[in-house]
Structure 1
Amino acid sequence: MNILVVGGGGREHALVWKIAQSPLVEKIYCAPGNPGIAQLADCVHIDADDIEGLCEFAQAEQIDLTVVGPEIPLTLGIVDHFQAAGLAIFGPTQKAAQIEGSKRFSKELMERYQIPTAAYRSFTDHGEAVAYVKAQGTPIVIKANGLAAGKGVVVAMDEEQALAALDDMMLGQVFGDAGRCIVIEEFMAGEEASFFAFTDGTSILPLASSQDHKRVYDQDQGPNTGGMGAYSPAPVVTAELHQEIVDTIVRPTIVGMANDGCPYSGILYVGLMIKDGRPRVVEYNARFGDPEAQPLLMRMKSDMVPILKACAMGELSDQTIEWHDKAAVCVVMASGGYPADYAKGLPLTGLEDAAALEDVMVFHAGTALEQGKIVNRGGRVLGVTGLGSTVAEAISNAYRAVEKIHWDKVHYRRDIGARALQHAASAGEKK
C-alpha cells in the first residue's frame, strides 16, 4: 500500500512511525512533514490545508489510503473532497468534524442525546455574555466556539478573569472568527482523562486510556496549551469506568451523529472530567490528540493500518487491538515563551544521543532543517516518549532522554505523569 499522512507535527510523526511498522505498507508520504518524519517517509511540500493540491498528489501517486492528522483540513472538508474523487481516506466528513469545529454544535448534540457534560449557554452578544457571567458567578469556563489550536479555553476563577476572557475573545478577537460565538460552561472539578475510539460510523473500537497535561507549568499552573505531555495508561480510568465511558458517552455520540445525518468515521477523542467515579465530557476532538498519540501508539502492539483502512471502508466490526503491557510517558519540550511569543530558528543539540537510548522515541513536532541543522520552528518542538514496565520507569526513561537535548530557552514540565504515581501510591496504601 501507498499511504499519505497529512500534517507535520508530533502526532503525525507518531502516526508515520506506527504505519511504517506495517508489512502492508510499501511507501509512505507525508505532507508537509518535518525533519523527524523525513527519516521514515517522503515529505511533500504541500500544506495540510491545500485540499486540492493534496487530492491531486494522491491521485498522481496512486495513494491507497490517506490518513489526516490535524483538525483544520478535516473542518475544511478534505474527506468529502477525497471521497468524491474515489480516494480512500481516514477521518470524518466536514459535517461530522463540526463535533470539534463548533463547541456549540457538540454541546447541542450532547443535550439532545443526554450525554453527561457541563451545563452551558452560547452567546454571540458580548453584553448578554457579561450579564450571564455576573449572574452565574465564578469559577466558570469561557470557550471560543471555533478552532483555536487548543488555546481557546479560559477557566476563570474570578469575575475579573472571566470578563477579561470575554473581552479578548468577543471584542479583541484574539482567536479571530473562532471567538465570534462563545460557549460559557459551569466549572467541573475532578481529574481529566483522554479517551479515544476508532469508528466506521457504526462499530466502535476503543483505545487504551491516557491523560494529557494542558497547562504550561508544573502543578497545572499557567495558561492552557495544546498539551505539555501525556501518559498511558491512565489509572483514573478503571476497567469499569472504561466500559461506562463507552456505554454512556462514546456509543450515544456515534449513534447520535448517525441519527442527525452526519455519521462519524475516523478517530473520536473525548476529553473527560472524572469525579467520584463518574465521567462527563469536557470536549470532543475529531482526530488523534497531540501529545496523547505518542504514548498510545508506542503502546499499541497491533498493526494499525488494517484498522485505519477498515474505518475508511466501513468494515471495522472484525478488528481488535492488542496492547503492550508497558506504560508510556511523553514529555513535550517547548520553545521558551510558549504559548505566547517565542524565538524561532534556535539550533537543537543532543537529538542523536537521546534517540540512542533504549525504550525511547523522540517525536518531532515544531522542528525545521535550516543550513543542515535541526532548529525550533513551533511552540511545541519535540515529544520525548519513554516506555517502561511501570509509569515510574517510563517517566524516568523519558526524562533521561529529555536531559540530553538542549536549545536556548527550552521549556518543559518536570511533573508529567505525577498523577499516575499518586494513584499507584494510593493503591499501594489501600493494599
Structure 2
Amino acid sequence: MTAIALEAAVPEAAPATRAFSAFEWMVAFRYLRARNAQRSISVIAGFSFLGIVLGVAALIVVMAVMNGFRHDLMDKMIGLNGHMFLQGVETPLTDYDAVAERVSKVPGVTLALPLVEGQAFASSPYGSSGALVRGIRGQDLARLPGVAGHVIQGSLDGFDSGRGVAVGAKLAEHLSLRVGDKVTIIAPHGAETPFGVTPRMKSYTVAAIFQIGMTTFDNTFIFMPLAEAQTFFNQDGEASVIEVYVADPDDMDAMRRAIEPAQQRPMIDTDWRQLNRSFFDVLAVESNVMFAILTLIMLVAALNIISGLIMLVQDKARAIAVLRTMGATRGSIMRIFLITGATIGFVGTAVGLVLGLLVAYNVEPIRKGLSWITGANLFPSEFYFLSQLPSRVEAHDVLAVVGLALFLSIAATIYPSWRAARLDPVEALRYE
C-alpha cells in the first residue's frame, strides 16, 4: 500500500464523533483486556491498580488514626485539665467561690471550678508511687468531663462528706487497691515545727476508682474533697487555681476577652494552647509528613499508568492508524486512551476507598487480632498515652485523598493520550 494511497484514505475533514460515545468506551475496554502478546502491559496495569488501591487505603487509614489521636488526646488531656486556668496574683485566691460563679455565667462557659492541687506520695502495704492530688468539690467532680461516667468501682456519692478519695485505675492497680482499702498520702510540706517543716501523712479510704483511658492520668491522679485538700496542703480558705471549661476550645481568644471582665480581680490567665501547643503541633507535623510520604505511593502508581499507556500506544499503533483511516478524529483517539488509563485510576480509587474505610472503622479489632496472632502488644499504652488505638474518619480528609488519587490518575493519562492522538497513520502503516 503506497503512501499516496494512505494519504488519500485519510479523510481530510472527518465528521467529529460525539465525545465519550459508546464506540470510544468499547474500544477503550477492549484495550484493557490483556491478550497473550500484551502480558507486560497487563502486568504494569495491574501494579498501577494495586498502587492506587494501597495508596488510597493507606492514606485514609493513616489520616483516620492521626485524627483519632488528636481528638482523643485533646478530649482527655484538655477534658481533665480544663481549657483555661485562672490563678490569683497580688492576693491569695480566697474569693474563689465568687470568681467561679461570675465566670460560669459568661456565655460559652460550661464549667468553672476551684481546685487545690499538690504533688504527693501515695503508698499502700503493697507499693508506693508519686501522685498528683487535686482537691475538688463533689458537685464539680460529678460534672468533670474526664471523670464523670468513668467510675469503674465505688461511687462518688457523698464525696464532700469525706467518705474517701477517688483514685486512678492504673495507680490503684499499682498499689493493689480496691474500694474500701486505705491509701496513705504523704505531702512534703506539712506542719511547721521548731525543727523545721515536717512531711504531712494521712490515710484515706478509697471511695471510688476511675478510668479515663489515658495512662498518664489513670496512673497519677487522686481526687479528694476540696476542704480536706485545703487542710492537707496548708491552704485553708484558698484555691490554687480556677479551671474553666468552654463550649468551643478552638475559639479561646474570644472566650478570654469575655472572661477577663468577669474576674473582677488581678489574675493570671493561661489557656490550653499555651500549655499543649508543642504537643499538638508535633501531631500536626506528623500528620502532614505521613500524608506527603504516602502520596508517593499513588505518584508511583500514576507513573506506572503513564508507562503502561505509552507501551499500549506503541503496541496499538497499527490499530490507531486503521481507526484514523476509518474516520476517527484525533480527539476520539485521545479520549479512548484517556478512558483506558482513567479507568484504572477510578476503579483503583473506589476499591481503595472501600478498603480504607473498612480498615479505618475497625482499627482497634484489627490491632487486637494482630496482637493475638503475633503474641506481642502492638500498642503499649505506657508509651502512647492511650489505652486503645483511636480512629476518627473525617469527611474532608477522605474527599482530599479521593480527589488527589483521581487527579493523579487523570493527569497520568494526558501525555500518552496526546501521543496516541498525534500518531501519523501514514507512518504507522507505511511498512505494513
TM-score, L = length of structure 1:
0.22
Structure label with greater radius of gyration: 2
Q: TM-score, normalising length from structure 2?
A: 0.22
Higher normalized contact order (CA 8 Å, seq sep 6+, divided by chain length): 2
Which of the pair is proportionally richer in strand?
A: 1
